[in-house]
Amino acid sequence: METTMKFATLAVHAGQRPDPQTGAVNIAVSLTSTFQMDGIGQLRNGFEYARSDNPSRRALETTIAALEHGKQALCFASGQAASTAVLDLLEPNDEIVTTANIYGGTYRLFHKVYQKYGITVRVADETTPESIQTALSERTAIVWTESPSNPLLTLIDIAEIAERVKNFRNKKNEKPLLIVDNTFPSPAFQNPLTLGADIVSHSCTKYIGGHSDVIGGAIVVNDETLWQRLKFYQNAAGAVQAPMDCYLLQRGLRTLPLRMKKHEENAYRIAEFLRSHSNVEEVFFPGFEDFPNHHLVAKQMKGLPGIVSFKIRGGLNSVNRFFAGLKLFILAESLGGVESLLCHPTSMTHAALPESERQKIGITDNLIRLSMGIEDADDLIDDLRNALS
């Protein structure tokens, strides 16, 4: 029945049926560390120990899997914990192929944590299917992408990359796994599994939670064997989502379709305003028809996240003066909340990248990333106009 439901209905009902005993319409916060057994090896409803499984987490995983058109999902204590679970699939001397346009925390994980275990990272020259295919080698075990990227909103053709990766075999005679970080579009606006991805990852902290009050991560798959390997890691490593955090994320998901439409609406309004302002040097927004690969918005997305990045005229001094003039936009890490946030990627989200790498891909000192909340767009534009002047 659930597979025939539309997205907004799934967000409210998938994995969230009323409790059969009490009739409660909300999923209970299951605050227990362990569960009574009915006998040796006899688990009641499959629950044994809360690290292995928990009713609150199981419900959330069911919902996220349904929204991503996946068979199984696994939830973790953070987006980085979810990414680490995926990277645990690697073996020494394996290789990750990725693009330069990825989240700074992912770069840090690749280069500062996993390289010491004999994992190498090969960065494709460009963000194109052809460039990624050229970068594949006999050691490639994972291809890691994100679209739109953080913070420049670069778009990549997920289906085309999936097709090229599918036809490649490494020295183990295996197809590399294609991972797509789907945090920016959320499952409301993009579903990479339907485009050929093997694993979808999320920082649930962002749009899925949507209220800047919880940290979380998730991965979604369609392959049973792959899910079993990742499930083993989740239980063994133990960086699982706490029950109260699961409740907050579940609550956030119920309004995800509505929030994403408002985020998108505000992003279009503000991107157009910024593009017309004399103190703005360049605006990065995939909704513009002249944005690189703009056609991919219609091909693989149902909408755009509320993210707009831009370069202000002048250097760091101009950035600081702009920040000081804002009243509504809040200078803070993260994105995707109901309140509008902004960040300085060079010193915040992408500080882990060497300056040479940042300069190469265009993350300069005068780059600013905006995350539109759900406020009135006119008020947000007035706030930006006052600060820019």
* 103 belongs to the catalytic site: yes
CA distance 163 to 382: 45
49 an active-site residue? no
Q: Which of 260, 273, 285 is nearest to 155 (CA)?
A: 285
3-state secondary structure the chain: CHHHCCHHHHHHHCCCCCCCCCCCCCCCCCCCCECCEEECCEEECCECECCCCCHHHHHHHHHHHHHCCCCEEEEECCHHHHHHHHHCCCCCCCEEEECCCCCHHHHHHHHHHHHHHCCEEEECCCCCHHHHHHHCCCCEEEEEEECCCCCCCCCCCHHHHHHHHHCCCCCCCCCCEEEEECCCCHHHHCCHHHHCCCEEEEECCCCCCCCCCCCCEEEEECCHHHHHHHHHHHHHHCCECCHHHHHHHHHHHHCHHHHHHHHHHHHHHHHHHHHHCCCEEEEECCCCCCCCCCHHHHHHCCCCCCEEEEEECCCHHHHHHHHHCCCCCEECCCCCCCCCEEECCCCCCCCCCCHHHHHHHCCCCCEEEEECCCCCHHHHHHHHHHHHC
Residue 261 appears among annotated catalytic residues: no
Q: Which of 94, 157, 181, 198 is catalytic?
A: 181
Tokens matching residue 262: 């408002």
Q: Is 11 exposed, middle or buried (0-12, 13-18, 19+ CB in 10 A)?
A: buried
Tokens 């797509």 sit at which residue?
A: 180
d(CA 359, CA 353): 10
Catalytic residue among 164, 206, 259, 311: 206
Strand partners, 280: 312
Q: Confirm whether 117 is a catalytic residue.
A: no
Catalytic (active-site) positions: 51, 103, 181, 206
